[in-house]
Chain A
Amino acid sequence: DVKVTQSSRYLVKRTGEKVFLECVQDMDHENMFWYRQDPGLGLRLIYFSYDVKMKEKGDIPEGYSVSREKKERFSLILESASTNQTSMYLCASSRGQGTQYFGPGTRLTVL
């Protein structure tokens, strides 16, 4: 059974703080993704990675960076959190053009 876990379910940070969101998958998937989910906007891709140390920008990369030092772990970094980054963040992983398996999500509030 595929398991995708995220480091926190809920997170509250202050404007200007550096924020790290971590995602770990246990199925040796080469692809990993970070999305943000906002009401009425669906899931929007921030960044994805198709291999260790490889990353590609998605539709809304501004204000975010990512790190993938190990195959199973994909981190999303908010260098200087802002209130408009308050959102639900979902991580996902997949093999090839296969099913995406999602993590439980992190609800981030930036005050």
Chain B
Amino acid sequence: GENVEQHPSTLSVQEGDSAVIKCTYSDSASNYFPWYKQELGKRPQLIIDIRSNVGEKKDQRIAVTLNKTAKHFSLHITETQPEDSAVYFCAASFTGNQFYFGTGTSLTVIP
């Protein structure tokens, strides 16, 4: 089956700096890559996603890039704010019936 690796496991940045989280996947058939944000004590929520026919997608301060050849995708957060502090999960899916999640990155934005 699919194997998704996520790095780093923890990340601390100064407010206003950028944060980058990287994920690699093993199954070249995977074609849908969502990113979820989970604030402390809350449920994971989708923040951005990308499909394999697109190389980059942006939504305000958040962007995701996908390199199908290298089988990796990354989340970029610019101009970080304290409310960006959370655990971020990447995932990969082929059919939509099964999602494989990374182990999560705990992001702390220091004011």
Known A43-B44, A104-B43; judge A97-B93 contact (CB<8 A).
yes
Q: Judging by beta carbons under 8 Å apart, are A43 and B96 in contact?
A: no
Which listed residue, B34, B42, B96, B99, touches A96 by the CB 8 Å rule? Answer: B96
Q: Judging by beta carbons under 8 Å apart, are A42 and B97 in contact?
A: no
Q: C-beta contact mask, B26-47 vs A, less than 8 Å → 1, else 0?
A: 0000001010100000111110
Question: Which residues of B are found within 8 Å of A25, using beta-carbon distances?
Answer: none
Known A45-B99, A48-B97, A58-B98; judge A40-B45 contact (CB<8 A).
no
Interface flag for B101 (CB, 8 Å) = yes
Interface flag for A59 (CB, 8 Å) = yes
Q: C-beta contact mask, B42-66 vs A, less than 8 Å → 1, else 0?
A: 1111100100000000000000000
Residues of B within 8 A of A (CB): 1, 6, 9, 32, 34, 36, 42-46, 49, 89, 93, 95-104
